[in-house]
Structure 1
């Protein structure tokens, strides 16, 4: 039996790139799929392709920055397929801009799509999802990437959304994870420092797996998948030693950093600038 047989999923930004690959792979794996995109003709093409492949797909066009549209795509799923079992928060944008030269309008637009869109769709989905899986689109840019401050901030927020939602929804049987992929898409082409990578189709099996019951024990994870390498990213946690004093002054703090606390390289140094 196909791994997603009997499941209904909503995939945002599914008109092209990663979202299209996720949608077609999920459908080929047995899922009924709601195709969301701001470009309705593109969404229609993906739905038609899935139908021609023998799968089930409907379109719910519109922007994830509109909470009414976020609710509408969930309602479309439950009306067409009788249920919702999965949500892939794929819709997103990125651009390059040096700090101090960024355009506030572009900054706002990016945050509204990447962060608020993820929140709005998640908020709508969990009202109808009894059990299931939410997959967010993260990025290693969250550790800090030159000329991508707003994008990095948005993906840091997605990591926090993933952790917070996973904790809150665990007892309801809803899993929440984020994938941090590299694939050659139109978005990647906007990154002047993008690492050469494979097509979006190489990432799709991971998303399908996370949507499936085979991943029933996996939640709250940031999963890196790029260039044939798969691993889980470390979570934020205290680093020993934790130093306690009854009173702290500047000298005591300086002594702690100079003699007792070992600093670690920032994440962007460990990962490599631009990766």
Structure 2
């Protein structure tokens, strides 16, 4: 993770005045909380939802509170609908600074009982829906030399959850997408991050007990989202958030152990596994190429020694 940020002076507040944000799946739950907070900090917000009525309702709430918002209906997997939303946003406000990829669904079952159709559907909405929306705003953000994109990942992808193989696969795929887009957007000030929320929403009803759901409010997650879309945002960060508690996850790499390629290499890997898996000296590579070159340099360094 590139953790460099602009310093925020003591007593200063994170403001989004003049920034235009699109929040997908914002008709309820996390998306609604995100949209309200962004608008309260000065952003002009496009409230997207699959259906127009909930999107209009949230946009009306924002306007009633003194903010600026419009509604846009359509599935994030519908390329024509997403392009129409982007065109509507540009026609209304002339720019797009923030994209919050929040829309999602659940189809939970153990892998043994899950159909391939349910696996594909969840991957399509979470992964390809985020790809479709991000592709639609990417050139606009690059051209204006400013963009903030957030993918909604999950602890199910980062660490696994029983019965969520489809959801976990899609959510971890978004981390991989973030890692590369953050590198590609760096020169044009397009910063890309992941938010891993834990919140009581329609998607979590029946999964967690009531006393747990009571503290996992969507509003307790959104402060982390605000930071990730602000001018002070990092890039390539994975921010876990729930109940007002925040932590950073990292895709890390342990210290390299040179085994070689001889006939006993498999057995040597097995014997060296405690050293290979030791996290004491783990690092976070700047890119996949950096990780690959580290392996090459380890081999060459061993040979020279």
TM-score (norm 1): 0.89
Q: Deviations over 1:86-107 (max 9, x none)?
A: 0000001123201121022222
* Residue in structure 2 matched with residue 132 of structure 1 by the alignment: 147
**Match of residue 128, structure 2, among 107, 116, 138:** 116
Instruction: Classify 1:86/1:260 alpha carbon distance in 2 versus 1 (closer, same or farther; 3 Å).
Output: closer
**Match of residue 169, structure 1, among 165, 179, 185:** 185
1:252 aligns with 2:265: yes
Q: CA RMSD in A?
A: 2.1
CA distance in 1, matches of 2:95, 2:241: 29
Counterpart of 2:232 in 1: which secondary structure?
helix
CA distance in 2, matches of 1:153, 1:190: 22
* Residue in structure 2 matched with residue 272 of structure 1 by the alignment: none
1:19 aligns with 2:31: yes
Q: Deviations over 1:108-136 (max 9, x none)?
A: 21111100001011111112112120011
Contact map agreement 2:257 2:276 (CA 8 A) in 1: no
CA distance in 1, matches of 2:196, 2:275: 29
CA distance in 2, matches of 1:81, 1:259: 58
CA distance in 1, matches of 2:154, 2:72: 26
Contact map agreement 1:241 1:261 (CA 8 A) in 2: no
Instruction: Classify 1:264/1:146 alpha carbon distance in 2 versus 1 (closer, same or farther; 3 Å).
Output: farther
CA distance in 2, matches of 1:49, 1:228: 24
CA distance in 2, matches of 1:57, 1:47: 5
**Match of residue 105, structure 2, among 77, 86, 93:** 93
Contact map agreement 1:34 1:76 (CA 8 A) in 2: no
CA distance in 2, matches of 1:39, 1:100: 33
* Residue in structure 2 matched with residue 242 of structure 1 by the alignment: 257
* Residue in structure 2 matched with residue 141 of structure 1 by the alignment: 156
Q: Using the TM superposition, name which of 190-199 and 83-92 deviates more.
A: 190-199
**Match of residue 221, structure 1, among 234, 237, 256:** 237
Contact map agreement 1:95 1:191 (CA 8 A) in 2: no
Structure 1: stretches of 5+ with no match in the other structure: 266-275
1:232 Cα offset (Å): 1.1
Structure 2: stretches of 5+ with no match in the other structure: 1-12, 279-305
Instruction: Classify 1:257/1:87 alpha carbon distance in 2 versus 1 (closer, same or farther; 3 Å).
Output: same
CA distance in 2, matches of 1:255, 1:210: 43
Instruction: Classify 1:35/1:243 alpha carbon distance in 2 versus 1 (closer, same or farther; 3 Å).
Output: same
* Residue in structure 1 matched with residue 293 of structure 2 by the alignment: none
CA distance in 2, matches of 1:193, 1:82: 45
Instruction: Classify 1:232/1:41 alpha carbon distance in 2 versus 1 (closer, same or farther; 3 Å).
Output: same
Q: Using the TM superposition, name which of 221-230 and 116-125 deviates more.
A: 221-230
* Residue in structure 1 matched with residue 83 of structure 2 by the alignment: 71
1:261 Cα offset (Å): 4.4
1:55 aligns with 2:67: yes
Instruction: Classify 1:260/1:94 alpha carbon distance in 2 versus 1 (closer, same or farther; 3 Å).
Output: closer
1:67 Cα offset (Å): 1.5
Contact map agreement 2:224 2:239 (CA 8 A) in 1: no
Contact map agreement 1:15 1:35 (CA 8 A) in 2: yes
* Residue in structure 1 matched with residue 294 of structure 2 by the alignment: none
How many residues align? The count is 261
**Match of residue 155, structure 1, among 165, 171, 179:** 171
